[in-house]
Amino acid sequence: MLELTMASVSGTEEGATAGMLMADAPSDPGAVLRVGRDKAVCRLVTPEDWLFVSRVHLEFLCGPEGTWQVCWLRGSQDEPSSEVRLIVGEYAQQIAYGGTVPLPRGGSGEIVVVDRTGPRSVNVGFYHEE
């Protein structure tokens, strides 16, 4: 099972968890959870006017062994207007635009999508049950 929580945070609300959204999916091969602005395909939806987030920005996909990965999907622009970081404990890494990173099995962490033009972010916490 992969459990996600998402909070959209602007500069004045840092640390606020009001309006937190949640989604989960069983660790079955092919299971997918998406984060973005498009309510039709995303389980976790950001504000529509937050254009630094693509219609479908992040895709969490369960592989054949029941392990999960996150992909920062390429949008319509050659250069993104955001940065995406994976944070697990003290470890942090940038996720490349169009890149995919495995999530630790039995672990938790956070994916942070940061607006390059202003003090806004989308924080997606995850917990991957074994």
Span of 6-20, 58-72, 116-130 with lowest mean pLDDT: 6-20
CA atoms within 13 A on the CB side of 93: 11
Dihedrals phi, psi of 12, to nearest 5 degrees: -85, -10
pLDDT at 12: 60
- Of 50, 108, 82, 87, which is closest to residue 73 (Cα–Cα)? 82
Here the tokens at position 16 are: 């606020």
- Region 9-15: what's the mean pLDDT? 65
pLDDT at 17: 47
pLDDT in tens, 66-100: 999 999 999 888 899 999 999 998 999 999 999 99
pLDDT at 14: 52
What percent of the chain is helix, strand and coil (3-state, nearest 5)? 0, 50, 50
pLDDT at 69: 96
pLDDT at 2: 95
| Cβ count within 10 A of residue 86 | 21
Q: Is the pLDDT score of 62 beyond 70?
A: yes
Q: Residue 3 carries which side chain, given as an amino acid letter?
A: E
Here the tokens at position 81 are: 């207007």
